[in-house]
Amino acid sequence: MPYRTHHVCLACRQGFKRGLGAAVTPCPVCGGQLIDAGEQLAVPPRRDTDAWQALAVVLGAGLRFHPGCRCCNDGPGYRPRTMREVRERQEVAARTGRPLAEVLARADPWTDAEGRRRQAGELIAARLLATAAPPPRLTR
């Protein structure tokens, strides 16, 4: 049985199942663009505008709902479901300078890549240290 993936139209808030790797076609309802959101998306109810706005931000950041491994069916990881969660993560991304997609994919936006919880100042300092040039060597 071939895998089927969710394609969503953000304009009319509709979800459709298509074969994995199927050609992207326009929305059959409104003619808008369909986005391949992934196999494991739980499409929100059409009346839940808050969830659809959050989904639009998540998809706009480049995150999808494909499983990490087909054999384990381990899921895509955390994705925010409400605009409140999205706004919290947008604020963390702005304060720390981390990419929005990275922050949106974490259940706790204050954790770093190793899963350690840090405050905004620590994250900014760690990022600056990682990107800073090494000090010049003294020669005699």
Q: Find the radius of gyration of the CA atoms of the chain.
A: 19
pLDDT of residue 63: 86
Q: What average pLDDT does the segment 38-64 reach?
A: 91
- Percent of the chain at pLDDT > 90 equals 31
Q: Is the pTM of this model over 0.75?
A: no
Mind listing the pLDDT tens digit for each residue in 80-136? Answer: 889 999 999 999 989 888 889 888 888 887 776 666 666 555 655 665 555 666 666
Q: Which of 126, 26, 136, 65 is nearest to 10 (CA)?
A: 26
**Distance from C-alpha of 62 to C-alpha of 43, rounded to nearest angstrom:** 17
Specify which residues 19 forms β-bridges with.
4
Alpha helices (runs of H) in 49-115, residue ranges in sequence order: 49-60, 83-96, 100-104
pLDDT of residue 66: 77
